[in-house]
Amino acid sequence: MPVAESLDNLIMAKFTRLEVAMKMVETGMVPLFYHGDIEVAKKTLKACYQGGARLLEFTSRGDFAYQIFEELNNYVLAELPEMILGVGSITDAAAASLYMQLGANFIVTPVLREDIAQVCNRRKVLWSAGCGSLSEIGKAEELGGEIIKLFPGSIYGPDFVKAIKGPQPWTSIMPTGGVSTEEDNLKSWFDAGVVCVGMGSKLISKEVLANHDFEALENRVKITLALIQKLKK
């Protein structure tokens, strides 16, 4: 159903923000991707789900991405009952509101914006702000941010996380960018104190999507999740 026809029958988030935050900490990984072909997107989501992922961030980067998300979320509600689907690359409150109307269970942003915090808090939907300094992290937490996105993670690295955890041991950090499936890479992040990682093309590669190799993706997700659980012990 097109968005314009569905505003009178809004889909609410299926999972509370506390449930989302707890699942992020429990599984330790949020896969993220975008694809403009809904059938490819569904198969990608299903492969991640069968591999054990219970969260997925659909990045809002393509034309009419909200239409893909709407259909994808309807698929999740019908076929993948334990999957927590959220959206990323959100840069203003209007976009956050639109996706929440379509059932987004969490909102991820590349920047810290108070207007996004306000609309998400009003609906009690988890939001994760992209931060790059201790001041931004402190501000995000004052606004109610539970999980802080460190972005781009490749610029800051695990040592930055260690430094933050010194004066603020209560801060929960999720790096995105600069995170790979390699054990050494994951170990450096979790040893530094992150609660989970966001992983895009290093997990869901262009080659996998181009070749429709969803079995390989499922296996990669399964292996990566198992490795993360081992490293967290």
State pLDDT tens for residues 75-86. 999 999 999 999
Residue 165: predicted pLDDT = 94
3 has a pLDDT exceeding 70? no
Given a contact cutoff of 8 angstroms between Cβ atoms, the answer to whether 219 and 51 are in contact is: yes
Q: Is pLDDT of 233 > 60? A: yes
Does 144 fall in a domain? Answer: yes
| Signed CA dihedral, 71, 73, 77, 82: sign only | positive
Tell me: pLDDT of 210 over 90: yes
- The pLDDT-based confidence of 1 (bands split at 50, 70, 90) is very low
How far is it, in rounded angstroms, from Cα 164 to Cα 151? 14
Residue 213 lies in a domain: yes
Residue 111, domain member (yes or no):
yes
| Domain span holding position 50 | 3-227
pTM of the model as a whole: 0.94
Domain assignment of residue 188, yes or no? yes
Residue 169: pLDDT over 70:
yes
In the block, residue with structure tokens 């409150």: 93
Domain count, the chain: 1
CATH no. for residue 68?
3.20.20.70
Mean pLDDT of the 31-57 span: 97
In a domain, 161, yes or no: yes
Q: How far apart are CA 86 and CA 67, in angstroms?
A: 14
In a domain, 136, yes or no: yes
Q: In the predicted model, is pLDDT for residue 188 greater than 60?
A: yes
pLDDT of residue 10: 64
Query: Is the previous residue joined to 158 through a cis bond, with omega within 30 degrees of 0?
Result: no
Confidence of residue 9 (pLDDT cuts 50, 70, 90): low
d(CA 232, CA 134): 24
Burial of 63 (0-12, 13-18, 19+ CB in 10 A): exposed
Is 232 part of any domain? Answer: no
What confidence tens digit (pLDDT) does each residue in 88-121 have?
Answer: 999 999 999 999 999 999 999 999 999 999 999 9
Query: Residue 6: is its pLDDT beyond 50?
Result: no
Section 190-212 average pLDDT:
96
- Tell me the C-alpha to C-alpha distance, in Å, between residue 134 and each of 116, 130, 178: 20, 12, 19
Provide the pLDDT for residue 4.
Answer: 40
pLDDT beyond 90 at 200: yes
Q: What is the mean pLDDT of residues 197-212?
A: 96
The mean pLDDT value for 183-211 works out to 97
Q: 233 in a domain, yes or no?
A: no
